[in-house]
Structure 1
Amino acid sequence: MKTLFIIRHAKSDQSFFGNDFERPLNERGQTDAPVMAKRLLDKNIKIDALVSSPAVRAKKTALLFAENLNLPAEDIIFVSALYQAPAGVFYEEIAGLPDQFDSVAVFSHNPGITYFVNSLNTGIEVNNMPTCAIFAVSANITHWSGFTKAVKSFLFYDYPKK
């Protein structure tokens, strides 16, 4: 069994006028990420690996999750392709995950993350993944390479204002 936690980065600073890749989290984002990580702990969820877009806002969200889940920050896997990724890229990157990880959190951006969630055929339609939202699915597989074709089971959908 493999479990995937699809997490949109926390709220970013919309007043930042620099390069989009460098946009930081705002104060709410810095507060929401630890809250959402603690909700995972409250559900007794154990994450084996964190995979993130290297964009500043996604990276910081992943770092805050790592800190609050007691995972080593240096173990976060940064994947450039997850920055502004269409749904298909998510499938490619997930298929290449090491099989030693049974439970993985992936941090990325809209609109691709919403498209990806809706492509999973779980019967749950998400209009828009809010910032720091978590959409969790499982698949009865032993190898991540089988994720794309596997039947996914919806586990939960949570976000800061819920």
Structure 2
Amino acid sequence: MKQIILVRHGKSSWNYQVSDKDRPLKERGINDGILVSNAFANKNITIDFAYASPANRALATSMIFLRNLNFDLDLFRVNESLYDFSGKSVSDFVKRLDDGLETVMIFGHNYAFTTLANTWGDQYIENVPTSGLVHIKFDVENWHAISKGTSETIIFPKHLKR
């Protein structure tokens, strides 16, 4: 069984004259990341490895989540392939993962994550929002064989706010 946890980066700021990769999180992005990661922590899912896009907003989101999950950062890497908006590069990356890894968490971008959540999961999602998390299980032994799985957990910030 393989499991992928897709996390879209938190809400970013456009208030700075920086490149797309360097855009920081807004305060809302930080707060939503804390909210969603705390809710996910209650699921008690063991993550074997985590990867993030090199974009500042994805890296910052990954640190919020991984710290809240008490995740061993030795099992974390940044990968350029995850700075992808179509989903093709992320899909190729996932299908090349080491088959010794069962559960992997990835931090990245839309529209890639909405596309992949709908391609791989069994619940239609119109849009994975910022700080949104989608956990999908696949009944396969090899990452290259993933296709349609089961959407196990979907946590969006709006689900946690009253």
- Asked if Structure 1 and Structure 2 have the same fold, meaning a TM-score greater than 0.5 normalized by the shorter chain, the answer is yes
Deviation per CA, 1:25-81, whole angstroms, max 9, x where unpaired?
111111221221221211122212111111000011111111111113343221112
CA distance in 2, matches of 1:29, 1:99: 33
Say if 2:156 is the partner of 1:159. yes
**Sequence identity of aligned pairs in percent?**
28
- Residue 143 of structure 1 deviates from its aligned partner by 1.6
The match for 1:109 is 109
For residue 161 of structure 1, give the secondary structure of its aligned residue in structure 2: helix
For residue 106 of structure 1, give the secondary structure of its aligned residue in structure 2: strand
CA distance in 2, matches of 1:113, 1:100: 23
Alignment of 1:93-132 (within 5 A): 93-120=93-120, 122=122, 124-132=123-131
- Residue 121 of structure 1 deviates from its aligned partner by 5.3
CA distance in 2, matches of 1:100, 1:63: 24
The match for 1:53 is 53
Cα pair 1:87 1:119 within 8 Å, conserved: no
Alignment of 1:2-151 (within 5 A): 2-120=2-120, 122=122, 124-147=123-146, 150-151=147-148
Runs (4+) off by over 6 Å: none
For residue 142 of structure 1, give the secondary structure of its aligned residue in structure 2: coil
Deviation per CA, 1:71-113, whole angstroms, max 9, x where unpaired?
1334322111211332222221111112222111111111222
Cα pair 1:139 1:151 within 8 Å, conserved: yes
> Normalized against structure 2, the TM-score is what?
0.90
Q: Which runs of 5+ in 2 are unaligned?
A: none
Q: Which runs of 5+ in 1 are unaligned?
A: none
CA gap of 1:121–1:136, structure 2 versus 1, over 3 A, is closer
- Residue 132 of structure 1 deviates from its aligned partner by 0.6
CA gap of 1:43–1:121, structure 2 versus 1, over 3 A, is closer
For residue 51 of structure 1, give the secondary structure of its aligned residue in structure 2: strand
Cα pair 1:86 1:116 within 8 Å, conserved: no
